[in-house]
């Protein structure tokens, strides 16, 4: 069960994550969990092969397909998703690049091939402009990449990709302008935000838009050189075209022949010498001397250059661009396949899908799970009995996202029971708590904490949960602690800030108010950390 992810998939996924965050703000996290669990039981689980374990990427993509279909149904078949807009934008960009490349290649070649019958086409100028310039650009590309890698610079910050990326972003909504006119402002904002999230979230998706830009540049080079070759062949076929060479520097014909023979190395082993390059006599016969004109020059010598020029453009300009395009296409697919769907949003979605939830009328296939608390609620004027079942997995493997370490402030540490914390953590985040570590209120002794993390987890850090009282808003020391923790554990480590309300005499674990939760989410959003999750530890239900 595999599916090849592409940019439209990531755009649509971020769009639906954004919608779900809005839904959670209005209706609470329980609405998301119940909807996703119902979606899994009704539309995903029936498609699984009996006895097979769903692959994470396949599971998320199947969820995405269902959401797309439902979105299309809600919009009466007129849903305009970011992925579809991106496909239209990229296709249009390819056509625009191809048009400008063809017109510029053809136009420039025709201007160089202008021949009035008095002055032959200058081979040196043509070769220098169309072959040497492009070859230099091809050599500068890997040199610039190596330089930026050595200096630790991000390729996304380079000038040319930044300019093209800005232009593509500006065109994003112009493609769907007619649909957008009738679209609600809130939906426009969601589409814009989804595209911006994927484009700017470097830690989660990396240079996801660099490869499409790279392929567009290679497409431009391919079509440009096809235009050049087409112009040369058309002019040679339809007109009496003469080529010659001249130089102020006193170069011998033998030196020019040796240079031409060396340039023709890539194809001379395959083609006869009469086609591959001019011979010494033809080179001498096509040498132009200004005061003597061209009347002394032989036609066979003047027409001997065009195969060499065409083969030079093909070998040094067109063929490398084709190879780069093919290589870029393969590398782009591999890059997209390597993107890890293990970010906070992805983990939470997997938890929603695979973890049994409180349901009315539990399905037969979930009745074998051990209930902890069952209550029968008889509705008035109805014979329907609703059974409320809470499932508490007793083993680590039942936590769909694995294990984590809890960081508990010292003022909460003694009152925080590991078993109770683990119950809520499994229920809300899909993690099993394996141990807890005390941190002080001001996060002062960070060195000792980091040593403990490295000692208990080996290389890298396990997913971390930081327990916080939501009524105390985040302060500068909190952000500094998170930055140091991220620097120690790496960008891929899943960090959860689990918020609780004010403790009461019965328990430490009380629900955080929606207002306090919103404050924490807004302030931590400025960190731009895709693997930082802010949630209430206790449901309001």
Q: Phi, psi at residue 126, to the nearest 5°?
A: -60, -50
Q: What is the pLDDT of residue 318?
A: 96
Domain boundaries, the chain: 7-81+343-356, 357-392, 401-536
User: Which tokens is 395 given?
Assistant: 């083993």
In the block, tokens 């040369």 appear at 232
Per-residue pLDDT at 531 = 85
Helix, strand, coil shares, percent, the chain, to 5? 60, 10, 30
Helix (H) or strand (E) holding 6: none
Q: Encoding tokens for residue 220? A: 């431009």
401-536 to CATH, choices 3.40.720.10, 2.60.40.10, 3.20.20.70, 3.40.50.10140: 3.40.50.10140
In angstroms, the CA 428 to CA 431 distance is: 8
- Write down the pLDDT at residue 391: 38
The pTM assigned to this predicted structure is 0.76
Q: Are 460 and 405 in contact (CB under 8 A)?
A: no
* Dist CA 67 CA 364 (whole Å): 25
Cα-based distances in Å from 327 to 90, 129, 278, 312, 493: 19, 26, 34, 22, 32
Inter-residue contact 407 to 467 (CB < 8 Å): yes
Task: Tell me the torsion sign for CA atoms 109, 111, 115, 121.
Answer: negative
DSSP letters, 31-86, are HHHHHHHHHIIIIIGGGSPTTPPPPHHHHHHHHHHHHHHHHHHHTTT----HHHHH
What is d(CA 268, CA 394) in angstroms, rounded to the nearest whole number?
Answer: 74
What string of pLDDT tens digits covers the 541 residues of the chain? 567 888 889 888 988 988 888 888 788 788 888 899 999 999 988 888 777 777 888 899 999 999 999 888 877 766 678 888 888 888 888 999 999 999 999 999 999 888 666 778 888 889 999 999 999 998 888 887 777 777 766 555 555 555 555 555 555 545 444 445 555 665 566 556 656 665 555 445 667 778 888 899 999 999 999 999 999 999 888 887 888 887 767 778 888 999 999 999 999 988 888 888 898 888 888 787 765 555 566 667 778 889 999 999 999 999 999 999 999 999 999 888 888 888 888 888 998 898 886 544 433 444 443 333 333 322 333 332 223 333 344 444 457 888 888 988 888 888 888 888 988 898 888 898 888 888 875 545 666 677 666 665 555 678 899 999 988 888 888 888 888 888 888 788 889 999 998 888 888 889 888 888 888 988 888 787 888 889 889 876 5
Q: Which residues contact 324 (CB under 8 A, 6 or more apart)?
A: 214, 218, 221
Report CA-CA distances (Å) from 408 to 24, 166, 435, 436, 470.
Answer: 26, 44, 10, 7, 14
Q: How many Å apart are CA 350 and CA 347, to the nearest integer?
A: 5
Residue-level pLDDT at 378: 28
Contacts of 319 by beta carbon, 8 Å cutoff, 6+ apart: none
């Amino acid at each position: 069960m595999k599916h090849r992810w592409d940019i439209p998939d990531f755009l649509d996924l971020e769009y639906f994550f954004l919608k779900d965050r809005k839904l959670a703000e209005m209706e609470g996290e329980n609405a998301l969990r119940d909807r996703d669990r119902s979606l899994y039981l009704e539309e995903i689980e029936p498609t699984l092969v009996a006895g097979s374990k769903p692959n994470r990427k396949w599971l998320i993509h199947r969820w995405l397909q269902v959401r797309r279909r439902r979105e299309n149904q809600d919009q009466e078949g007129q849903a305009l998703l970011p992925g579809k807009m991106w496909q239209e934008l990229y296709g249009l960009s390819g056509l625009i690049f191809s048009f400008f490349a063809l017109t510029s290649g053809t136009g420039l070649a025709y201007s160089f091939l202008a021949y009035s019958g008095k002055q032959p086409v200058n081979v040196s100028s043509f070769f220098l402009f169309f072959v040497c310039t492009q070859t230099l650009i091809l050599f500068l590309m890997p040199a610039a990449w190596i330089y930026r890698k050595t200096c630790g610079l991000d390729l996304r910050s380079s000038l040319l990709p930044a300019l093209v990326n800005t232009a593509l972003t500006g065109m994003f909504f112009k493609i769907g302008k007619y649909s957008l006119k009738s679209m609600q402002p809130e939906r426009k904002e969601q589409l814009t935000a989804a595209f911006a999230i994927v484009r700017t979230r470097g830690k989660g998706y990396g240079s996801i838009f660099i490869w499409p830009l790279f392929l567009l540049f290679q497409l431009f080079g391919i079509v440009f050189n096809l235009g050049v070759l087409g112009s040369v062949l058309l002019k040679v076929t339809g007109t009496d075209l003469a080529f010659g060479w001249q130089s102020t520097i006193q170069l011998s014909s033998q030196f020019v022949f040796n240079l031409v023979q060396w340039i023709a190395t890539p194809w001379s082993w395959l083609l006869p010498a009469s086609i591959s390059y001019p011979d010494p006599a033809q080179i001498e016969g096509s040498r132009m001397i200004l005061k003597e004109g061209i009347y002394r020059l032989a036609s066979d010598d003047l027409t001997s250059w065009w195969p060499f020029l065409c083969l030079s453009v093909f070998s040094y300009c067109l063929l490398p661009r084709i190879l780069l395009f093919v290589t870029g296409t393969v590398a782009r697919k591999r890059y997209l396949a390597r993107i890890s769907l293990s970010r906070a949003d992805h983990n939470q979605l997997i938890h929603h899908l695979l973890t049994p939830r409180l349901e009315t009328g539990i399905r037969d296939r979930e009745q074998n799970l051990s209930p902890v608390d069952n209550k029968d609620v008889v509705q008035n004027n109805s014979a329907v009995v609703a059974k409320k079942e809470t499932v508490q997995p007793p083993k680590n493997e039942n936590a769909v996202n694995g294990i984590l370490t809890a960081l508990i402030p010292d003022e909460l540490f003694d009152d925080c029971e590991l078993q109770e914390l683990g119950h809520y953590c499994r229920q809300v985040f899909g993690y099993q708590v394996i141990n807890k570590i005390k941190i002080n209120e001001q996060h002062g002794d960070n060195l000792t904490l980091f040593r403990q993390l490295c000692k208990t987890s080996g290389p890298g850090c396990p997913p971390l949960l930081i327990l916080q009282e939501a009524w105390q808003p985040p302060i500068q020391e909190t952000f500094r602690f998170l930055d140091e923790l991220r620097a120690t554990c790496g960008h891929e480590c899943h960090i959860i800030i689990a918020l609780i309300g004010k403790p009461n005499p019965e328990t430490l674990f009380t629900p955080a108010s929606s207002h306090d939760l919103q404050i924490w989410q807004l302030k931590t959003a400025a960190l731009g950390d895709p693997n930082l999750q802010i949630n209430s530890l206790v449901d309001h239900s």
